[in-house]
Amino acid sequence: MRKLVLAAALTLPMLAAPALAQDTLKIGYIDPLSGGGASVGEIGLKTFQLLADEVNAKGGIQGQKLEIVPLDNKTNPQESLIQLQKAIDSGIRYVTQGNGSAVAAALSDAVAKHNSRNPGKEVLFFNYAAVDPILTNEKCNYWHFRWDANSDIKMQALTSYMKDKKDIKKVYLINQDYSFGQSVRTQARKMLGEKRSDVEIVGDELHPLLKITDFAPYIAKIKASGADTVITGNWGQDFALLLKAAADAGLKVNWFTYYAGGTGGPTAIKQTGLDHQVFQVSEGVANGGAPGAIEVEKVLRAKYDISNFYPRAFNQIRMLVAAADKAKSTDPVKVAAALEGLEFDVLNGGKGFMRKDDHQFFQPIYISSFGSLADKSMFDDEHTGWGWKVEAKVDTPDTMVDTTCKMKRP
């Protein structure tokens, strides 16, 4: 009898837990928290946790408390599906992920399947950083929403900026060997060819994703090719270690990148001594001067000693709140409907909107370069004394690209 009471005392609170869940809205954060992608995954997690705190301080979403549930996927699609199932089983209706387009594609498929088989228990997938265009084109799906500009949009902006730089003559492409890296290389070839037919592509490299510890052999190859400019979509340690090897070898070229601002990137750039020769295309940097961006930058630095690498995460969570307010519900089906076509004032200033046709978010895109700061009041990164400077801005209408998506609506 005593054992029974004890067992009941232990299990009853567990049974009561789902009842409590009504008061919290959980977002499953499925991203690498171990392995080669961990450094970026941790930054993303901290950013989302800060956002949850922000939302909860303002009274939550439709009265519900927002909670971020970290689920480690080791940057592996297979592991991600297990984590997704785990999330669904524990009653989570929103998942977010960003690192790795192969992972995003697997999640998008799985969520679509789950939703068609379990009406009334729909799950939404918010993609904050996986930028393979395929996710909002051939493989688009109603339950997937992407806040980051896709790779084509970014390459369009990068090449438009490179077009007027006459000192660019020989370009080397180095990318990670998976769907995203491959799309960067094809688009770079295509768009550079259209805009600057005089530019010669002197190398086109694909290397294993997050497995290389020493990029010296690759740097030797770039050097031997005589390139003056490198385009890379590398992220996480693949960018930091690439630049570290470049610094060691004293490679002096222009770098056009997607993710130079990730963990370790700024430190490595400073080591190369390339002052304002490393460019990044993104949805904005705090040094761009938007008051909202400056404010969150200060909070993130004070709380976690990191800079804001994911302004899109802010747009994502704040839009979730706006959509829930509009729908007067946190039910995923209603929120999804409310998100379609929703206009929003983005963190870095200006207007963005969630395109109904493919669920791709469009927003102003900036090219910035990393180097010494003219103004002491500006933010530096990773205590290097160097920071980002906005070089060019592409407004929302000019970032629009066509989509082949034929959305199937429920």
Which residues bind to another protein, rule: CB under 8 A? 33-36, 38-39, 41-42, 177, 205-208, 211, 213-214, 216-218, 220-221, 223-224, 237, 240-241, 248-251, 263-264, 267
How many CB atoms sit inside 10 A of residue 35's CB? 16
CB of 250 to another protein, least distance (A): 4
* Least separation in angstroms between CB 399 and another protein: 30
Minimum CB–partner distance for residue 385 and another protein (Å)? 16
What is the 3 state secondary structure string of 57-81? Answer: HCCCECCEEEEEEEEECCCCHHHHH
Minimum distance from CB of 109 to another protein (Å)? 22
User: Do residues 111 and 125 lie in contact, with contact meaning Cβ atoms separated by under 8 Å?
Assistant: yes
Q: Which is nearer to another protein, 160 or 182 (CB)?
A: 182
Contact 401, 159 (CB under 8 A): no
Closest approach, Cβ 229 to another protein, in A, equals 17
Cβ neighbours of 373 (radius 10 Å): 15
Buried b (16+ CB within 10 A) or exposed e, 97-134: bbbbbbbbbbbbbbbbebbeeeeeebbbbbbbbbbbbb
Q: Give the shortest CB-42-to-another protein separation in angstroms.
A: 6
> Quick check: helix, strand or coil at residue 155?
helix
Of the two residues 265 and 288, which places its CB atom closer to another protein in the complex? 265
Element (H, E) at 369: strand 365-372
Between residues 39 and 160, which has the closer beta carbon with respect to another protein? 39
Q: How far is the CB of 305 from another protein (least distance, A)?
A: 12
Q: CA 323, 326, 330, 334: dihedral to nearest 10 degrees?
A: -90
At closest approach, how far in Å is the CB of 174 from another protein?
Answer: 11
Q: Which CB sits closer to another protein, 67 or 177?
A: 177
Structure tokens given for 127: 């993609």
Closest to another protein by CB, 17 vs 224, is: 224
CB of 102 to another protein, least distance (A): 16
In the complex, minimum distance from the CB of residue 401 to another protein, in angstroms, rounded to a whole number: 24
Q: Provide the 8-state DSSP code for 301.
A: H
Nearer to another protein, 34 or 372 (CB): 34
Q: Which of 144, 30, 14 is nearest to 87 (CA)?
A: 30
CA-to-CA separations, 262 to 103, 233, 357, in angstroms, rounded: 19, 12, 31
Burial 294-320 (b: 16+ CB within 10 A, else e): bebbeebeeeeebbbbbbbbbbbbbbb
Closer by beta carbon to another protein, 6 or else 220: 220
Residue 38 or residue 52: which is nearer to another protein going by CB? 38
227 near 202, Cβ under 8 Å? yes
Q: Give least dist CB 69 to another protein, A.
A: 17
Token digits of residue 204: 């086109």
Short-list 375, 372, 350, CA closest to 363:
350
Describe the crossing of helices 265-272 and 237-249 by its angle, rounded to 10 degrees: 10
Q: Where are the beta strands (DSSP E) in 177-299?
A: 200-207, 229-232, 254-257, 278-282
In terms of CB distance, is 159 or 187 closer to another protein? Answer: 187
**Spatial contact of 31 and 100, defined as CB atoms under 8 Å apart:** no
Is-contact 91 26, C-beta < 8 A? yes
Whichever of 13 and 217 has its CB closer to another protein, that residue is 217
Closer to another protein by CB, 122 or 205: give it: 205
